[in-house]
């Protein structure tokens, strides 16, 4: 009886650790799945954020004619990149929390 309880406890503990260590819907997965990331800001209609499975990084594509600032929040703080018009660039982080922000400069 005690061994069965210990086994169930360990399974529950591992499941809890998995939930805590990966933010829902925002972590990069090794699967080739198209994901939609929420965006806030003035440039959301012209900016696309995708996961590049080959480089294991998030790629930002700026399809506008203006420079765009991309901000994301991580557990360690904030990360910002600037993407020139009609160019793409990779985020400096592998995971982020909440929506990303895309604003014209």
Domain residue ranges of the chain, discontinuous segments joined by +? 2-104
Do the Cβ atoms of 28 and 83 come closer than 8 Å?
no
pLDDT tens, position by position, 86-103: 999 999 999 998 899 999
The alpha carbon of 10 is separated from its chain's Cα centroid by a whole number of angstroms, namely 29
35: tokens are 């994901």
Predicted confidence at residue 13, as pLDDT, reads 53
pLDDT band, residue 12 (cuts 50/70/90): low
87: tokens are 């160019």
First-residue to last-residue Cα distance in the chain = 64
Say what the pTM is.
0.66
Integer Cα distance of 10 and 33 in angstroms: 30
pLDDT tens, position by position, 18-54: 545 544 444 444 444 456 789 999 999 999 999 998 9
DSSP state of 94: S
Predicted confidence at residue 27, as pLDDT, reads 47
């Amino acid at each position: 009886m005690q061994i069965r309880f210990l086994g169930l406890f360990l399974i529950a503990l591992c499941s809890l650790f998995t939930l805590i260590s990966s933010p829902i819907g925002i972590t990069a997965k090794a699967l080739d799945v198209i994901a939609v990331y929420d965006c806030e800001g003035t440039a959301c209609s012209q900016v696309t954020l995708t996961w590049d499975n080959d480089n294991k990084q998030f790629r930002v594509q700026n399809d506008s004619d203006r420079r765009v600032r991309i901000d994301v929040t991580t557990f360690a703080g904030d990360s910002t990149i600037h993407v020139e018009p009609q160019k793409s660039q990779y985020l400096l982080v592998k995971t982020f929390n909440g929506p990303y922000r895309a604003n014209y400069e």
